[in-house]
Structure 1
Amino acid sequence: MTATRVRLVRLRAGLLALTLVVLVVSMWAFHRVQNAAETVRDRTSQAVLEVTAARAALVAADAAAVASFASGEARLAGPGQEYSNQLALASQSLARVAEFNQAGAPGGNGLQVVESQVAAYSGSIGQADVHFRQLDAAVLGAADLWHASRLLHAPGGVLDELELLQDKQREALATQLSSTGVSLAMLPLWLLPILALLGLLVHTQLYLRKRFRRMANVPLLAATVLIAAIGVALVFTVVSRDRLDSVGERLDAVAEARNTQIQAADEAGQLRLADLLTEFCDREQGCGVTVDEFRAKARQATTVATDNTRVATAGAKAVAADASGAAETGGREYLIPAGTLLAGGLVLLGLHSRIDEYRYRP
């Protein structure tokens, strides 16, 4: 076997080995990023948004119920249509959270606690409605309303549990992003096999041109173009992973806007509840230490009510757009394997005739 044929065989083996490495690395990176992107798009980001929506809806429902009882409308229309609508929205959001839950068993257990507390809250509002309709039982109605409000606002209540669940879902998102093992900072490392293969392809073509005095080897040239395209596809894959970080940032912005909206609405509702309770308290003895402290705290609220609905809505749309953009494949699931395998076939084709020329040479 001549030295030329040995070198050609070695070049072929090296090219095919690197092609296989490129295929494995590229597909591994693509699937890791794609799985994370689809999970974030379809489940995790939705879970975080639905938890914040449930919190906002419950606070709005509570404020609407208090307003109805305080104004006297409850004697005609009960807690009111706004209360019913917001409670229905909260229930729908909690159902979606259960569907999208990414926090595992702790998230599921917390959700069960929340659902049972919401049911108890709804029951207390219903009892308050019955008592407020009876002129001689309005005090009991106020007590029921106070109890219902404590189910939401007391330490360990519904709002605390939902905030804890929101944090768990956000942690699940951070874990999913960090577990991909792919990042923009590591892009040179991921491109290393592709660059090595491109370098070997160029070296092989220069060697063939020098040894056989031909302008170009078309199959190897086509293989070079394909591998370069695989490199571009891998860059887009890593950039897609980097876009997932913006999803987390936008989710935090939405949560902040929601929190401001929730706090303002909550303080307004709690202040109105404090005023309502004052009507039924003994002027000399008060309502008791717990209620008196609540009334004092409610009157100290300083949050300025601002309309963050548009900010939260726009933020939620931006989250969906970023998550969808990160999960968009652009056909890379077909380009990477098909292009790499075709490049391997072109390597075999491009070197076959050259190697075959030296098959029978001594």
Structure 2
Amino acid sequence: MTATRVRLVRLRTGLLALTLAVLVVSLWAFNNVQDTAENVRDRTSQAVLEVTAARSALVAADAAAIASFASGQAKLAGPGQEYSNQLALASQSLARVAEFNQAGEAGGNALQVVESQVAAYSGSIGQADVHLRQPDAAVLGAVDLWHASRLLHAAGGVLDELESLQGKQRAALDTQVSSTGVSLAMLPLWLLPVAALLVLLVLTQLYLKKRFRRVANLPLLGATALIAAIGVALVFTLVSRDRLDSVGERLDDVAAARDAQIQAADDEGQRRLADLVSEYCDQEQGCGVTADEFRAKARQATTVSTDNTRVATAGVKAVAADAAGAAESGGREFLIPAGTLLAGGLVLLGLHARIDEYRYRP
């Protein structure tokens, strides 16, 4: 076997080995990022948004029920249609959280607690409605209404549990994103096999041009173009991974806007509840330490009114856009394996004739 043939065989072996490395690295990075992006788009981000939606709906339901009782409309229509609508929205959101839950057993247990507390809350509102319709039981109705509201707002109540559950779902997103093992900062490392293969392809073509005095080796040129395309696809894969970070940031913005929205509705509802409870308290002895502290706190609450609904709606759309963008494959699931395998075939084709020339030479 001549030295030229040995060199050509070694070049072929090196090119095929690097092609295999590019295939393995690119497919691993793409599948890892793609699976995470699709899970974030379809489940994790939805779980976070639905928890915030449930919190918002429950506070709106509570405020609507209090407004109905405070205005006297409850004697005709009970807690009101708005209360029923918001409570139904909260139940739907909790059902979707259960479907999308990414917080594991802890998330499932928290949901069970919340659902039982919401049922108890609804029961207390129903009792308040019954009692407030009876002139001689109006005081009991006010007590039931106050108790129902405490089920939402007290430490360890529904809103606290939901806030904790929201944190668990948000932490699950961070864990999923960090577990990909891929980041834009590590781009040079992930592109190393691609760069090494491109360099070896160029060197091989220069060697063939010098040794065989051919202008160009078209199969090797095609392989070079395909590997360059794989490198671009890998860059887009890492950029998609980077967009997952923006999904988390967008979710935080939505949560902040909804928190402000919730706080505004809550402060208004709690002030009305404080006024309603005061009507049934002894003017001299008050309502008791706990109720008096609640009334004082509710009346001191002030919230700056801003257009948080618009901000939250825009934020939800931005979350959906970023999550969809991160999960957009752009055909890379086909380009990476097909392009890499075709490049390997072109390497074999491009070197076969040259190696074959030296098959029988001494």
Specify the SS of the correspondent of 1:303.
coil
User: What 5-or-longer segments of structure 2 have no aligned partner?
Assistant: none
CA distance in structure 1 between the partners assigned to 2:107 and 2:287 by the alignment: 37
Residue of structure 2 in register with 1:299 after alignment: 299
CA distance in structure 2 between the partners assigned to 1:196 and 1:202 by the alignment: 10
Specify the SS of the correspondent of 1:243.
helix
Residue of structure 1 in register with 2:137 after alignment: 137
Contact 1:254 1:311 in 2 (8 A): yes
CA distance in structure 1 between the partners assigned to 2:266 and 2:39 by the alignment: 33
Residue of structure 1 in register with 2:232 after alignment: 232
Residue of structure 1 in register with 2:25 after alignment: 25
AA in 1 matched with 2:59: V
AA in 2 matched with 1:36: T
AA in 1 matched with 2:357: E
CA deviation map 1:127-168 (0-9, x unaligned): 100111111110010010011001000000000000000000
Specify the SS of the correspondent of 1:216.
coil
Aligned length: 362
Q: Report the Cα offset of residue 360 of structure 1.
A: 0.3
CA deviation map 1:282-304 (0-9, x unaligned): 11111110000000000110212
Q: Report the Cα offset of residue 341 of structure 1.
A: 0.3
Contact 1:59 1:265 in 2 (8 A): yes
Residue of structure 2 in register with 1:220 after alignment: 220
CA distance in structure 2 between the partners assigned to 1:231 and 1:254 by the alignment: 35
CA deviation map 1:162-221 (0-9, x unaligned): 000000000000001100011110000000000000000000000000000000000000
AA in 2 matched with 1:267: D
Map 1:245-260; keep pairs closer than 5 Å.
245-260=245-260
Residue of structure 1 in register with 2:116 after alignment: 116
Residue of structure 1 in register with 2:57 after alignment: 57
Residue of structure 1 in register with 2:8 after alignment: 8
CA deviation map 1:50-90 (0-9, x unaligned): 00000000000000000000000000000000000000000
CA deviation map 1:317-361 (0-9, x unaligned): 110010001000000000000000000000000000000000000
Contact 1:121 1:152 in 2 (8 A): yes
Residue of structure 2 in register with 1:358 after alignment: 358
Residue of structure 2 in register with 1:90 after alignment: 90
Specify the SS of the correspondent of 2:191.
helix
AA in 1 matched with 2:164: L
Map 1:308-323; keep pairs closer than 5 Å.
308-323=308-323
AA in 2 matched with 1:208: L
CA deviation map 1:94-136 (0-9, x unaligned): 0000000000000110010000000000000001001111111
Q: List structure 1 segments (4+ residues) > 4 angstroms apart after TM superposition.
A: none
Q: Report the Cα offset of residue 305 of structure 1.
A: 2.6
AA in 1 matched with 2:323: A
Residue of structure 2 in register with 1:182 after alignment: 182
CA distance in structure 1 between the partners assigned to 2:112 and 2:306 by the alignment: 32
CA distance in structure 2 between the partners assigned to 1:61 and 1:294 by the alignment: 20
CA distance in structure 2 between the partners assigned to 1:64 and 1:359 by the alignment: 89
CA distance in structure 1 between the partners assigned to 2:337 and 2:304 by the alignment: 57
User: Normalization by structure 2: what TM-score?
Assistant: 1.00
CA distance in structure 2 between the partners assigned to 1:304 and 1:142 by the alignment: 28
CA distance in structure 2 between the partners assigned to 1:20 and 1:307 by the alignment: 55
Alignment partner of 1:335 is 2:335: yes
CA distance in structure 1 between the partners assigned to 2:191 and 2:117 by the alignment: 53
Structural RMSD (CA) = 0.5
Specify the SS of the correspondent of 1:99.
helix
User: Normalization by structure 1: what TM-score?
Assistant: 1.00
Residue of structure 2 in register with 1:284 after alignment: 284
Q: Report the Cα offset of residue 307 of structure 1.
A: 2.8
CA distance in structure 2 between the partners assigned to 1:140 and 1:307 by the alignment: 37
CA distance in structure 1 between the partners assigned to 2:284 and 2:232 by the alignment: 78
Alignment partner of 1:38 is 2:49: no
CA distance in structure 2 between the partners assigned to 1:257 and 1:171 by the alignment: 19
Residue of structure 1 in register with 2:75 after alignment: 75
Alignment partner of 1:264 is 2:264: yes
Residue of structure 1 in register with 2:243 after alignment: 243
AA in 1 matched with 2:155: P
- Percent identical: 86
CA distance in structure 1 between the partners assigned to 2:300 and 2:204 by the alignment: 79
CA distance in structure 1 between the partners assigned to 2:201 and 2:346 by the alignment: 11
Contact 1:265 1:305 in 2 (8 A): no
AA in 2 matched with 1:207: Y
CA distance in structure 2 between the partners assigned to 1:302 and 1:78 by the alignment: 28
AA in 1 matched with 2:359: R
Residue of structure 1 in register with 2:161 after alignment: 161
AA in 1 matched with 2:232: V
Q: Report the Cα offset of residue 33 of structure 1.
A: 0.4
AA in 2 matched with 1:103: A
AA in 1 matched with 2:353: S
